[in-house]
Amino acid sequence: MFKFMKLVANENMKIYRRPRTYVMLGLMLALIAAISIITYFVDDTHNTLAWNMIFTESMISYMLITVFTIIIASGSVADEFTSGTIKLLLIRPWSRSKVLLSKYIAVLLYALGMAVVMLLFSFILNTVLFGYQDVTASEVVSPLVSGSVAAYLLKYSLLKYVSLVVTTTLAFMLATVSRSGALAIGLSLFLILGVNSFAPLLATLKYKWADYLLFIHLDLTQYLDDAPMRDGMTLGFAFFVLAIYYVIFVGLAWYVFKKRDVAA
């Protein structure tokens, strides 16, 4: 187990040695800072709640994190084929499954790290600028929501991360199957950002099979406000549908990687 964790650590080093990793992090933090600082100087009444800013920036940032993680996930496998270093990986006494799993875990840790840094930075910055207010979720999110705003933010973040895991797995699978980072990034972004934008329209379909469409369930936060896109849909059912797609994506990636002559 310890040796496997060293393999995961090696994959993390590959991610954090590249300048693009820090450029993407810098862009996200700069955007958050810009939104908060501009709002602070524009709001003459100074009635802006820090929690309102945190939620606004979280929604924007999670979209950026999704795009950045897709880029990292797509390059994690495809870049090994492009540079030919995949052969060096397979010389080591590791099975192909463990090599692929280490890359997958490293990508998920990157996504988690980005989300944690984003939330902490946004919370600290907005608390400094606007002050800390002890408010409830109903005052910030919706009158239909009750409880602590911090607890709501935690649930919101967890559900966003689950969706991020599914999206990342899709990109990871496409990169593994195609061995092309550019194709995986382009196709993943098209599916997630393009097709997903039509999710509300897809939700209006009267057919039963529409209940099982991936894009209708990717935004799990719809269930926090008890406002699902389709009547009768529940969070449990959404998890079930996403789990089916997740197993398909993972299974396809592992099958192709193990069967392909990657050393050629």
165 contact partners, CB below 8 Å, separation of at least 6: 108, 111, 246
Rounded Cα distance between 100 and 121, Å, is 32
> Over its length of 264 residues, how does the chain's per-residue pLDDT go in tens digits?
667 788 888 888 888 888 889 999 999 999 999 999 999 888 777 677 888 899 999 999 998 999 899 889 888 777 666 665 665 666 566 677 788 888 899 999 999 999 999 999 999 999 999 888 877 877 777 776 777 888 888 999 999 999 999 988 988 888 888 766 677 777 777 777 766 677 677 777 787 888 888 888 888 888 887 777 788 788 899 999 999 999 999 999 888 877 766 555
Is residue 201 situated within a structural domain?
no
Residue 258 maps to a domain: no
* Structural domain contains residue 140: yes
Spell out a b/e string for 196-206, using b for 16 or more CB atoms within 10 Å of the CB, else e: beebeebbeee
Distance of alpha carbon 222 from alpha carbon 228, whole angstroms: 5
- Asked if residue 41 belongs to a domain, the reply is yes
Q: Domain residues for 87?
A: 2-194
- Per-residue model confidence (pLDDT) at position 158: 93
Q: What is the pLDDT of residue 261?
A: 62
Cβ atoms within 10 Å of 59's Cβ, excluding its own: 12
pLDDT at residue 28 in the model = 95
Q: What is the pLDDT of residue 15?
A: 87
**Does a structural domain hold residue 103?**
yes
Asked whether residue 260 is assigned to any structural domain, the reply reads no
Q: Which pTM value belongs to this model?
A: 0.87
| Residue 261 domain flag | no
Does residue 200 sit within a domain? no
Phi and psi torsions of 252, nearest 5°: -65, -40
